[in-house]
Amino acid sequence: MNSLDFLPEGVRLAVSPLSWANDVLEDLGADISLDTCLLDAAAAGYQGVELGRKFPREEGSLRPLLHDQGLALASGWHSGELAERRVDDEMAAAAAHADLLHAMDCKVMVYGEVAMMTPGSPLDAPMSQRLIMPAGEISAYASRLTEFSKHLAGEYDLQLAYHHHLMMVTETFDEISRLFDTTGREVGLLLDTGHAAGAGFDYG
């Protein structure tokens, strides 16, 4: 029996390189090479990986690295700022990233909202001190997310997968629910069970 025989037809399993090297805390995994990451991922049976900070950002360099290990590129994180900027500015900021994902045959872009974070060093701040989006701004934010998602789909054939995250504007279950009650169907949700547990989700 293949180790992936349990997967439904059409579903593939990929892994984040954060298991080898952290994108924010660069000392975590600094000594682990990209080759080691890809070799380990393939040996463990994964079919793909997400982009990480050690990956080249040119298709001509990235594709053969993954191909040599039988891996596909699943997606890659985009640090978005739609909480504070216009859709056309966000499209310009995401263009190179979206181009690469499209060239690598990805179908999803992971979006993490990094605007409205605690100033200074948010990773060192207590979670109780994070900035919270005022209720009156959620509808406009949801509209920008929806419009951005439509542009991604139309121009790059990419679906937006919204990554809820600790210390960001959508952390708790209620915040995520309020946002997705307002966005269009074009906005997808990436369920991060680790951040969900940290935010106090009740799976019962």
Q: What DSSP string runs through 122-150?
A: GGGS-GGG-----GGGHHHHHHHHHHHHH
Overall number of domains in the chain:
2
User: What pLDDT, on a 0 to 100 scale, did the predictor assign at position 1?
Assistant: 41
Query: Last residue of a domain, which of 73, 102, 123?
Result: 73
- 89 and 156 share one domain: yes
Contact assessment for residue 109 and residue 101, using Cβ atoms and an 8 Å cutoff = yes
CA distance 201 to 164: 12
- 81 and 66 share one domain: no
Of the ranges 125-139, 141-155, 186-200, which one carries the lowest mean pLDDT score?
186-200
- 175 and 153 share one domain: yes
Please determine, for residue 54, whether its predicted confidence score (pLDDT) is greater than 90: yes
- Domain housing 3: 1-73
Please determine, for residue 110, whether its predicted confidence score (pLDDT) is greater than 70: yes
- 167 and 190 share one domain: yes
Burial 77-110 (b: 16+ CB within 10 A, else e): bbebbbbeeebeebbebbeebbebbbebebebbb
> Which range is most confident: 17-31, 95-109, 127-141, 168-182?
95-109
- 17 and 97 share one domain: no
Q: Is pLDDT larger for residue 199 or for residue 81?
A: 81
Segment 135-164 shows an average pLDDT of 95
Contact assessment for residue 49 and residue 37, using Cβ atoms and an 8 Å cutoff = yes
